[in-house]
Amino acid sequence: MSWIASYFRFDELNTNWRAEATGGLTTFMTMAYVVVVHPGILSEAMGEALFGELLFATCASAAFGTLLMAVLANYPFALAPGMGLNAFFTYTIVLGMGVDWRLALAVVLASGLLFLLLTVLRVREAIISAVPEPLKRATAAGIGIFIAFIGLRNAGIIVDNPATLVGLGDVRSWTAGLTLAGMLGTGVMLARGIRGAILLGVAGVALLAMIVGAAPWPAGVVSLPVWPATLFAEAVVNLPLTLESAMLHLVFAFLFVDLFDTMGTLVGLSERSGYLDAQGRLPRANRALLADSVGTVFGSVLGSSTVTTYIESATGISSGARTGFASLVVAVLFLGALFLTPLVESVPIFATAPALIVTGVLMMASAARVKWSDASEAVPVFLTLVAIPLTFSIADGLAVGFVAYPIIKRLSGRGDEVHPLVDVLALVFIARYVFLT
């Protein structure tokens, strides 16, 4: 076992087996909802009869992408089919535009191959390295608010309000009450230095929910997986059709959203965990991006929409994960979910809310290092920080910062602080929102 600790550099990164295993389990628990939610969304486009096959594609693609992240990049970042992109796949492309789901899978595959090409050419790595330091800190803090918002929404504490967009939910409900209790309990355990506090909070809320009847007990433990015979390789068969002009804009739409969503997530997680070097660059960034790209290609062949890095990885990092061994744990758990689906389904989504909220608190530390007295940095940082949760998109929030940063810097006479690539990306974002929205 010592060779495993050596491979993942436990001593160098000041970690141990317990911290990595706890971090991996925590990350999986906070993103396990994807096992059920993702197949549910895609089945609306492909038919409910394919739910079992979609569940296999979900777990297998998540396990494969996360395993690549562990082995190639040695980062505790977990991958799975992206929730925003699966909605785009189902509701916009298939149901909205009437594109056959087989062709839509081919669009995902084409975008994945383009991701892979850009990664091999190191274009994506260059973009990440060019992100200004203030925007990296803003992205981390913005993601913190974002995932805290998701947690509050999942618990029913924040709800939709036609008059004010959002409002306070029924705090007397079991879901809200248990979430608040879990959040306070997790906070107390963190303050007292208890290891695995975030994971204990999730497990505690889930158990209490079952005891009081707010969530059902597991209907079973073991189930057999269903091989995606109908879905497998449909993306490959229909790939030539994506070269038609009517399909190319959809390929680039997937490419654009995943590129900048992944970039924002990697930057935010790396800033939170301290992986960025003295120049603000992410070591082994190309390997991390390679895992993301290959994961998307693999997932599309199995029948899933785009695979991407998950912001819920921050919960595992907050629990002590520092190496790819935590990702290895997540990958194994996703494979196990193929056989333990009833058990995974029994964890209510609101049980993970305390973990998301507390992790959001921890990620706000990045905002403390922003030069708030410097308006040329404070304004782009603030716009990025608030745009991520308010647009419900890391990519859109990062776009706001990328546009504001070079404009304010150059018009204030400090253009020498702007990387030329940032100017190019600002123009790309402007063109995207003016002409492609």
Q: Estimate to the nearest angstrom the gap between the alpha carbon of 430 and the chain centroid.
A: 24
Q: Which residues of the chain have pLDDT under 70?
A: 1, 84, 436-437
What pLDDT does residue 296 have? Answer: 94
**φ, ψ of residue 38 in degrees (nearest 5):** -60, -50
d(CA 207, CA 214): 10
CB of 238 closer than 8 Å to CB of 102: yes
What pLDDT does residue 106 have? Answer: 96
d(CA 360, CA 134): 18
Residue type, position 313, single letter = S
CB of 422 closer than 8 Å to CB of 402: yes
Q: Which residues contact 140 (CB under 8 A, 6 or more apart)?
A: 267, 268, 269, 271, 272, 363, 366
d(CA 249, CA 200): 45
d(CA 268, CA 270): 5
d(CA 153, CA 155): 5
- Outline where DSSP puts E strands in 69-149: 79-81
Tokens of 308: 């991407």
CB of 299 closer than 8 Å to CB of 228: no
CB of 222 closer than 8 Å to CB of 339: yes
Q: In 3-state terms, what secondary structure has residue 123? A: helix
C-alpha angle 179/177/215, rounded to 5°?
A: 75
d(CA 119, CA 294): 10
Q: Which residues of 103-119 are buried (b: 16+ CB within 10 A; e: fewer)?
A: bbbbbbbbbbbbbbebb
The residues spanned by each domain of the chain are 2-436
Q: In 3-state terms, what secondary structure has residue 65? A: helix
137-158 pLDDT, tens digit per residue, is: 888 788 888 888 888 988 999 9
Instruction: Give the orientation angle of helix 123-130 with respect to helix 420-431, to 10 degrees.
Output: 100
- Please state the pTM of the whole predicted model: 0.78
Q: In 3-state terms, what secondary structure has residue 217? A: coil
42-100 pLDDT, tens digit per residue, is: 988 898 788 889 999 999 999 999 999 999 999 999 999 987 678 778 877 888 888 99
Residue type, position 331, single letter = A
d(CA 177, CA 169): 11
Q: Which residues contact 360 (CB under 8 A, 6 or more apart)?
A: 144, 145, 146, 147, 148, 149, 151
Alpha helices (H) in 9-100, listed in sequence order: 17-31, 34-46, 51-68, 83-87
100-128 pLDDT, tens digit per residue, is: 999 999 999 999 999 899 889 988 778 77
**φ, ψ of residue 80 in degrees (nearest 5):** -165, 165
DSSP 173: S
d(CA 262, CA 386): 18
What pLDDT does residue 224 have? Answer: 85
Q: Measuring CA to CA, how many Å separate 427 from each of 34, 257, 424?
A: 35, 16, 5
d(CA 303, CA 411): 48
- Outline where DSSP puts E strands in 188-340: 307-309
Give the total residue count for the chain.
Answer: 437
- Outline where DSSP puts E strands in 133-274: 158-161, 165-168
